[in-house]
Structure 1
Amino acid sequence: MPLRSLIARLPYPSTAVQRAVGIAAVVAQGGIGVTGSVVRVTGSGLGCPTWPQCVPGSLVPVQHPGIHAVNQWIEFSNRMLTGAVIVVAALAVLTAWRILIDHPSRKRLLALAWTMPGGVVLQAVLGGITVLAKLEWWTVAIHFLASTPLIWLAVLLLRAFREGDEPARPIVPPLGRKLLVLLTVLMWAVLIAGTTVTGAGPHGGDIHTHRLDVAIEKLAQIHSGLLIVYLVVLAVFGLQLLRVGAPKSVWQRYAWVWAVALAQGVLGTVQYALGVPEAMVSFHVLGSALVIVVTATLWTGTRDRGPVVSLDPAPPADRELTPAG
Structure 2
Amino acid sequence: MALNSLVARLPLPSRSVQKAVGIAAVVAQAGIGVTGSVVRVTGSGLGCRTWPECQPGSMVPVAHEELHAVTQWIEFGNRLLTGVVILVAAIAVLTAWRVHLATPRKRLLALAWTMPGGVVLQAVVGGMTVLAKLEWWTVAIHFLASTPLIWLAVVLLHAFTEGDETPRWLVPPIAKTFLVVLAVAMWGILVAGTTVTGAGPHGGDPETHRLDAPIELLARVHSGVLVVYLVVLAVLGLTLLRTGAPRSLWRRYGAVWLVALAQGVLGVVQYALGVPEALVSLHVLGSALVIVSTAALWCGARDRGLPPAPAVVSSTTTGHAAVTP
Same fold (TM over 0.5): yes
Match of 1:71 in 2: 71
- TM-score, scaled to structure 2: 0.96
Match of 1:233 in 2: 232
**What's the CA shift for 1:315?**
3.8
Provide the rounded CA distance (Å) in 2 between the counterparts of 1:14 and 1:305: 19
- Consecutive aligned runs of 4 or more in structure 1 exceeding 4 Å deviation: 319-323
Please say if 1:190 is aligned against 2:189.
yes
> What are the within-5 Å matches in structure 2 for residues 66-145 of structure 1?
66-104=66-104, 106-145=105-144
* Conserved 8 A contact 2:313-2:321: no
**What's the CA shift for 1:309?**
1.1
Per-residue deviation, residues 182-227 of structure 1 (Å, max 9, x unmatched): 0000000000000000000000000000000000000000000000
> What are the within-5 Å matches in structure 2 for residues 138-153 of structure 1?
138-153=137-152
Q: Which amino acid aligns with 1:18?
A: Q
**What's the CA shift for 1:2?**
1.1
Match of 2:251 in 1: 252
**What's the CA shift for 1:136?**
0.2
Provide the rounded CA distance (Å) in 1 between the counterparts of 2:124 and 2:279: 28
Task: Report the 3-state secondary structure (helix = DSSP H, G, I; strand = E; otherwise coil) of the residue aligned with 2:194.
Answer: helix
Pick which of 271-280 and 165-174 moved more.
165-174
Task: Report the 3-state secondary structure (helix = DSSP H, G, I; strand = E; otherwise coil) of the residue aligned with 2:67.
Answer: coil
Q: Which amino acid aligns with 2:60?
A: V
Task: Report the 3-state secondary structure (helix = DSSP H, G, I; strand = E; otherwise coil) of the residue aligned with 1:48.
Answer: coil
**What's the CA shift for 1:42?**
0.1
Provide the rounded CA distance (Å) in 1 between the counterparts of 2:141 and 2:65: 30
Please say if 1:243 is aligned against 2:214.
no
Task: Report the 3-state secondary structure (helix = DSSP H, G, I; strand = E; otherwise coil) of the residue aligned with 1:232.
Answer: helix
Q: How big is the alpha-carbon RMSD for the aligned residues of Structure 1 and Structure 2?
A: 1.4
Match of 2:34 in 1: 34
- TM-score, scaled to structure 1: 0.96
Match of 1:277 in 2: 276
Please say if 1:176 is aligned against 2:175.
yes
Provide the rounded CA distance (Å) in 2 between the counterparts of 1:197 and 1:73: 27
Task: Report the 3-state secondary structure (helix = DSSP H, G, I; strand = E; otherwise coil) of the residue aligned with 1:293.
Answer: helix
> What are the within-5 Å matches in structure 2 for residues 48-59 of structure 1?
48-59=48-59
Per-residue deviation, residues 160-193 of structure 1 (Å, max 9, x unmatched): 0111111111111111000000000000000000
**What's the CA shift for 1:245?**
1.6
Match of 2:15 in 1: 15
**What's the CA shift for 1:264?**
0.1
**What's the CA shift for 1:316?**
5.2
Provide the rounded CA distance (Å) in 2 between the counterparts of 1:170 and 1:138: 38
Q: Which amino acid aligns with 1:170?
A: W
Provide the rounded CA distance (Å) in 2 between the counterparts of 1:316 and 1:62: 50
**Closer, same or farther in 2 for the Cα pair 1:287/1:316, shift >3 Å?**
closer
Provide the rounded CA distance (Å) in 1 between the counterparts of 2:53 and 2:14: 40
Match of 2:47 in 1: 47
**What's the CA shift for 1:4?**
1.1
Task: Report the 3-state secondary structure (helix = DSSP H, G, I; strand = E; otherwise coil) of the residue aligned with 2:47.
Answer: coil
Task: Report the 3-state secondary structure (helix = DSSP H, G, I; strand = E; otherwise coil) of the residue aligned with 2:212.
Answer: coil
Per-residue deviation, residues 4-38 of structure 1 (Å, max 9, x unmatched): 11110000001111011000000000000000000
Please say if 1:167 is aligned against 2:166.
yes
Q: Which amino acid aligns with 1:140?
A: V
Provide the rounded CA distance (Å) in 2 between the counterparts of 1:316 and 1:225: 54
Match of 1:286 in 2: 285
Provide the rounded CA distance (Å) in 2 between the counterparts of 1:188 and 1:65: 42
* Conserved 8 A contact 2:8-2:313: no
**Closer, same or farther in 2 for the Cα pair 1:315/1:6, shift >3 Å?**
closer
**What's the CA shift for 1:277?**
0.2
Per-residue deviation, residues 98-154 of structure 1 (Å, max 9, x unmatched): 0010102x1000000000000010000000000000000000000000000000000
**What's the CA shift for 1:248?**
0.5
**What's the CA shift for 1:85?**
0.2
Please say if 1:314 is aligned against 2:298.
no
Task: Report the 3-state secondary structure (helix = DSSP H, G, I; strand = E; otherwise coil) of the residue aligned with 2:178.
Answer: helix
* Conserved 8 A contact 2:101-2:313: no
